[in-house]
Structure 1
Amino acid sequence: MLLPLPLAGAYDYRVPEGLAVPPPGSFVEVPLGGREVAGVVWDGEADPTLPASRLKPLLRVFDCPAMTAPLRRLVDWIASYTLSPPGAVLRMTMSAPSALEPAAPTAGWRRADPPPPAARISPARARVLALVADGAPHAGGLLAEAAGVGPGVVRGMASAGLLEPALLPPDARFARPDPAHQGSVLTEGQADAARALRAAVAEHGFSVTLLAGVTGSGKTEVYLEAVAEALRAGRQALVLLPEIALSTQWLDRFSARFGCAPALWHSELTPRTRRDTWRAVAEGAAPVVVGARSALFLPFPDLGTIIVDEEHETSFKQEEGVVYSARDMAVVRARLTRAAAVLVSATPSLETLTNAEAGRYRLLHLPLRHGAAGLPQVSAIDLRTCPPERGRFLSPALVEAVNATIARGEQAMLFLNRRGYAPLTLCRACGHRMRCPNCTAWLVEHRLQRRLQCHHCGHAEPIPPACPACGAEGTLAAVGPGVERVQEEAAEVFPDARRIVMASDTIAGPAAASEAARRIVDREVDLIIGTQIVAKGWNFPDLTLVGVVDADLGLAGGDLRAAERTVQLLHQVSGRAGRADAPGHVLLQTWNPEHPVMQALIGGDLDAFMRAEADQRRPGHWPPFGRLAALIVSSEDEAAADRAARDLGRAAPQGDGFEVLGPAPAPLALLRGRHRRRLLLKARRDIAVQPILHEWLARVPVSNQVRVQVDVDPVGFL
């Protein structure tokens, strides 16, 4: 029996008399200590040395579809690859424990028979009556959505006697997308790519396809054809998005293609919706799920395709608990379930490009934007020769371009990937810097909320009236720009422009994102000011100018992937401009226009940039041409962290084809109150790092004060 706890392996239990032995994958309840926990009957043999008298009895078997063999193999595979306890991985698959019990019947509505003769039939009510003409029960929310009316219309019809309550069948909680529903008309290039994806899904076998294409080329419409093919075959489909809570326009595209919305899976769902969605997925009643990385562990009985949109996004990497890459594990799950994986990006990661060039992944490319739109022109504003005015952050050239854009009746965007008002607050009298007490990080000023906040641990405190170090009043100064400060400057420079700020502080969820998108599309906004959440997925037809306030921001530090990430982010945000008939223009404010990242964006040759990146990494066996695994040693006691890191360093393995770097303080040497040290195992690509890590960690005893986290294939080095 495998339990969803960070335990070393499965436990043995006794099956009571009169109860049939549940097959592997069955969800069961068993005693553990003084409590009762749910677990899964796991594959393998029982320990023959355990006497029956020591075995505790299985308590019951849940009335729930069993976990499939491919999902059980995925749990074991991830546990082995990431050096995590299998139970910790299992816990991610059991993310809605209440769903193990059958759901209570849900109330809906059906046509009243006979209907009251005197009831008023408005056009809105007529649309609802047409949908319930089959006499079957319908969920109120889905009924209102399909009829294009508000929930109040449905309630009013019930009050008028036109509808009567009825219990919904279990599979009526989610509408079934129609693969034959009329979608967008595809161009010739899109149609060719869609045919290839449909064929991959129809083969009912494992494959991986990289769908690359410039921003605005219609990649979403193409990969939705893979989803349609899975539906035609009676299989399920999973779409992973990096920003599911902000995917308003994506959901509109899905509904236009299939006639209804998909099932959603993300952290903001209510407990009841999570329970209903998990159960519907397990029963095959949720044909399509779109979700964040955790959706990868839902109990699909028959996945036909897995789509990873924006596959290069680092948000697909989970950094806490079980450390894994949802993109890479999506490929593993596709292999185990004989499904077609599709990785999608306008700026694919170097790892994915290398797999495509080696023939491990199939490559489909969409080089043109859809319709009459062309790619935007990208130019650099050299801040050495055209700096902003003192105390400002927008150069005269950028201000002039924004004014001209708005004067033409078009929309402009100012992009700065930094939340808050200012990244640093210091005292002009003594030089004291306001820093987080729990992290090696400066506190970010959020002037609208009148607080200083750490973006790593969440610590927040009011902005003090005086310097806490020297006591001087009125000497605290904001240093550097955040998106709030850009908004403040924009209000002074563009006083007549209607502005909106799109950042995680102001766009808190799907409803706020939907309203922001509506305002922009309906031309209630002239100037968009945003952070990275505006960089991908949005389609604003009248947006023709994107100004990047600090194009150099991501290039500082020694991160292996700093240049790659910067070019991806800036290319994505550049792609928001000129997506309709009017041409787009992008202005990059930079102190170093000669940098390869800026030259790649200006010249539009990202392929050459990625080839140069590959040439730099290949000789040193850096990913994707080698393997990395990090050990992050942390403790609330700094001396204990140092001792453990030193002991690990002294016991570091040695051999041909690999080396250990460190220990060294992590860039964030203090995070959430824990002192952190890092060691890095670097190996040739043909060397498996897991056996080396197992043997290494087994040689070094670590005190209970210390935590050692293993990160295989790290994407960040903080």
Structure 2
Amino acid sequence: MIIDVLLPLNLSKCFSYKVPNGLTIKIGDFVEVPFLNKKYIGVVWNNKAKLNEKIKYKIIYKKLPIPALKKEIFKFIEEFSLYNLQPIGLVFKLFLYKTGLKSIDKGLKKTHCFKEYKINKVKKVDYNSEQIKAIKEIKNRLNKNIFNVFLLHGVTGSGKTLVYMDIVKDLLKQNKQILILLPEKALSNQISRRFEEFLKAKCAIWHSGIKDKIKKKIWKGILENKIQIVLGARSSMFLPFQNLGLVVIDEEHDSSYKQEEGLIYNARDMTILMASILKFPVILATATPTIETYYNASINKYNHILISKRYKNKKFPEIKKIKINKNEMSKNKHIADETLIYTKKFLDKQKQVLFFLNRRGFSTYVICYNCNKRFLCPNCNIGLVFHKIEKKLKCHYCDFVCNANRSCTNGKNCELKFYGIGVEKLFDEIKELFPKKKIIFLSSDVSVEDELNSRIKKIEKNEVDIIVATQLISKGFNFPDLNCIVVVNSDNIFFGSDIRSTEKNYQLLHQLSGRAGRFQDNALVILQSYENNNKLVDALSNEDIFKFYKEELNFRKEAYLPPYSKLISFIISGSNKFTVEKNSILIKKLIPKNNHLKIYGPVSAPISKIKSNFRSRILIKYSSRIRPQKLLKETVEKMKNFKNIKVEIDVDPINFM
């Protein structure tokens, strides 16, 4: 018997193997096979392959003792591969947790007890009228075996988590498995504590920070349908669920759901694709849906469930714009006098204050006073950022690190000048302004997970007075005593030629303001701004939550931008600038001429060099009513013949750098 096996390789074809006598094989079985002097775990794609007498077939080593891959997953792998223009072998690789598969008939054989994950009793919750209405709306339209997408659009602090918890509770009684997708590792710990309190059971958490010993147990528990609820990052959508009944995508607007390197895909969109094939519902929970999600709800493609009031009718924070001028500010002063008056009032009442700045490091622009040379990354076309805590200069694109010293043209060391404010510099300024207060610092540079979780717990328990943080703080956290937020510079949060920059800024500022006053009234959000007219500030102050979306959709329609069109980006990179430019032109010529496709470029990318590779971009725009992937598939295959360059394909890009 000859079978075709799909291997987890950067290829779009299967390989044929011979099945030894006495072994029963069916489509979807996982098998271990030889390939180029190595052992690989693959999946049986076809068990009726044609025998070619001229070929000497290799024999499969063994069949793995785990459930076969469902035929619906086969279809999903094919659709995922085609839509994202990625090799089918790499898509299949996403479903392989190698550590678990290698242990399935070894150490994991002894793992049978999952009692800590068993749901015992569900805590009673008091819902308000809007939450009850939202729960009823979802349950009335919810069918456990029918694909359906719900946009749970609740203002910040409205209790969206409590709403979907109630939906989860009912599905658990039906022995369904539930996946809660979260955008941030640190957020999973806070949400898991709420679920554990609600379900009186331990939640399985899946992300890169979880140890393999724990992951292996979770993986087997999911495989045997003994673990019903999983909270995880985007990779958890590929876990071996046997009876998946619902996926909740919390903070669905978050860009962390987009994998930007390697195999590029959007976990939110691919989860919805998977749900449409496997027939289960999806809940998209957010206070600030993406423009595409809001549009899909507005045309009734998704069910729009709105919660317009905060839990227990708490008031929204007051939005106050404080106009600052350059004369008032100095090199080491970034907080206006008026801002300080307000923040001191909150601190005097023992209420927490957050100072927000979305820039990592201490100084974003480092230059020598004598030779006027800026410190640049040797691998990227970008300046180095000074990190005072580590006393190092860093590149935020390739992770290059160096000491902050350099020989100057006068034979001495460069005399450094630090310009541009980062969150570390702001932290120093706040410490000087409030020397007797307990101040904590939060950013993605706090790389040790235990330390990050410890700081978050201190904020939750009101053990600190002031928080200085980057956008990490905006991702769905619940801080009971945070009542005042200061956005140090509300004019420039995201930079670059990005068609989504207005949307991203609105989402970030709206989410950030939603951290304040969740449990108490009279909260305040201060937006420091150099501009007289700031549309985002006006949008945040406006009580009509749909106004921003209507205006942005009108702009996108006139400009023929998503969701009225769709985009595919080709990023061509290589070590030789001339080779990249020449091959970019040749690749453009390979793209089929079609009246429905508009091709832009090639042009040098906004950051023209990253990790010692020069970068060029080609952008394809097409109608959202068509799918040109089949047309482009041949082009993608031909691109593999180009030498000395790398081509990355980004369908529905959200980053244009």
* TM-score normalised by length of structure 2: 0.95
Q: How far apart, CA to CA, are the structure 2 residues paired with 1:663 and 1:66? A: 45
Specify the SS of the correspondent of 1:229.
Answer: helix
The verdict on how the C-alpha distance between 1:229 and 1:98 changes in structure 2, with shifts beyond 3 A counting, is: same
Paired residue for 2:118?
176
Offset at residue 647 of structure 1 (A): 1.1
The verdict on how the C-alpha distance between 1:45 and 1:624 changes in structure 2, with shifts beyond 3 A counting, is: farther
Once the two structures are overlaid, the 10-residue window that deviates more, 50-59 or 441-450, is 50-59
Offset at residue 269 of structure 1 (A): 1.7
Offset at residue 372 of structure 1 (A): 4.2
Partner deviation per Cα, 1:585-604 (whole Å, 9 max, x = no partner): 10111122412212101224
Amino acid at match of 1:544: N
Counterpart selection for 2:20 from 1, 10, 16: 16
Aligned positions of 1:289-438 closer than 5 A: 289-384=230-325, 387-438=328-379
Amino acid at match of 1:4: P
The verdict on how the C-alpha distance between 1:64 and 1:701 changes in structure 2, with shifts beyond 3 A counting, is: closer
For the Cα contact (< 8 Å) 1:212–1:344, is it kept in 2? yes
Partner deviation per Cα, 1:551-585 (whole Å, 9 max, x = no partner): 12235322000000001001111111111123211
Offset at residue 520 of structure 1 (A): 2.1
Larger radius of gyration: 1
The verdict on how the C-alpha distance between 1:194 and 1:60 changes in structure 2, with shifts beyond 3 A counting, is: same
Specify the SS of the correspondent of 1:378.
Answer: strand
Q: How far apart, CA to CA, are the structure 2 residues paired with 1:386 and 1:377? A: 27
Paired residue for 1:68?
70
Counterpart selection for 2:42 from 39, 44, 47: 39
Q: How far apart, CA to CA, are the structure 2 residues paired with 1:409 and 1:687? A: 57
Partner deviation per Cα, 1:30-82 (whole Å, 9 max, x = no partner): 11121221111114752x26337422111110112222222222211111111
For the Cα contact (< 8 Å) 1:307–1:341, is it kept in 2? yes
Paired residue for 1:155?
none
Q: Does residue 512 in structure 1 map to residue 451 in structure 2?
A: yes
Paired residue for 1:658?
597
Paired residue for 1:26?
29
Paired residue for 2:585?
646
Counterpart selection for 1:6 from 7, 10, 13: 10
Once the two structures are overlaid, the 10-residue window that deviates more, 654-663 or 696-705, is 696-705
Paired residue for 1:287?
228
Amino acid at match of 1:334: A
Aligned positions of 1:174-573 closer than 5 A: 174-178=116-120, 180-384=121-325, 387-464=328-405, 466-467=406-407, 471-473=411-413, 475-506=415-446, 508-509=448-449, 511-573=450-512
Once the two structures are overlaid, the 10-residue window that deviates more, 332-341 or 273-282, is 273-282
The verdict on how the C-alpha distance between 1:282 and 1:43 changes in structure 2, with shifts beyond 3 A counting, is: farther
Specify the SS of the correspondent of 1:490.
Answer: helix
Offset at residue 362 of structure 1 (A): 0.1
Q: How far apart, CA to CA, are the structure 1 residues paired with 2:583 and 2:410? A: 38
Specify the SS of the correspondent of 2:363.
Answer: coil
Amino acid at match of 2:33: V
The verdict on how the C-alpha distance between 1:183 and 1:716 changes in structure 2, with shifts beyond 3 A counting, is: farther
Partner deviation per Cα, 1:99-129 (whole Å, 9 max, x = no partner): 35436578xxxxxxxxxxxxxxxxxxxxxxx
For the Cα contact (< 8 Å) 1:380–1:602, is it kept in 2? no
For the Cα contact (< 8 Å) 1:218–1:370, is it kept in 2? yes
Q: How far apart, CA to CA, are the structure 2 residues paired with 1:523 and 1:98? A: 40
Amino acid at match of 2:477: W
Q: Does residue 597 in structure 1 map to residue 533 in structure 2?
A: no
The verdict on how the C-alpha distance between 1:366 and 1:223 changes in structure 2, with shifts beyond 3 A counting, is: same
Once the two structures are overlaid, the 10-residue window that deviates more, 381-390 or 369-378, is 381-390
Paired residue for 2:91?
89
Once the two structures are overlaid, the 10-residue window that deviates more, 282-291 or 466-475, is 466-475
For the Cα contact (< 8 Å) 1:372–1:581, is it kept in 2? no
Which runs of 5 or more residues in structure 2 are unaligned?
Answer: none
Specify the SS of the correspondent of 1:546.
Answer: strand
The verdict on how the C-alpha distance between 1:547 and 1:638 changes in structure 2, with shifts beyond 3 A counting, is: same
Paired residue for 1:110?
none
Paired residue for 1:583?
522
Which runs of 5 or more residues in structure 1 are unaligned?
Answer: 107-166
Amino acid at match of 1:177: I
Partner deviation per Cα, 1:267-288 (whole Å, 9 max, x = no partner): 1122222222222211112211
Percent identity, aligned pairs only, is 31
Q: How far apart, CA to CA, are the structure 1 residues paired with 2:228 and 2:618? A: 44
Specify the SS of the correspondent of 1:647.
Answer: helix
The verdict on how the C-alpha distance between 1:573 and 1:273 changes in structure 2, with shifts beyond 3 A counting, is: same
Q: How far apart, CA to CA, are the structure 2 residues paired with 1:559 and 1:33? A: 44
Q: How far apart, CA to CA, are the structure 2 residues paired with 1:385 and 1:32? A: 65
Specify the SS of the correspondent of 1:194.
Answer: helix
The verdict on how the C-alpha distance between 1:521 and 1:400 changes in structure 2, with shifts beyond 3 A counting, is: same
Q: How far apart, CA to CA, are the structure 1 residues paired with 2:550 and 2:47? A: 47
Specify the SS of the correspondent of 1:371.
Answer: helix
Alpha carbon RMSD of aligned pairs, Å? 2.1
Paired residue for 1:157?
none
Offset at residue 701 of structure 1 (A): 7.0
Counterpart selection for 2:563 from 624, 627, 631: 624
Partner deviation per Cα, 1:251-306 (whole Å, 9 max, x = no partner): 11111111122111101122222222222211112211110001111111111000
Specify the SS of the correspondent of 1:633.
Answer: strand
Q: Does residue 635 in structure 1 map to residue 574 in structure 2?
A: yes
For the Cα contact (< 8 Å) 1:183–1:258, is it kept in 2? no
The verdict on how the C-alpha distance between 1:52 and 1:13 changes in structure 2, with shifts beyond 3 A counting, is: farther
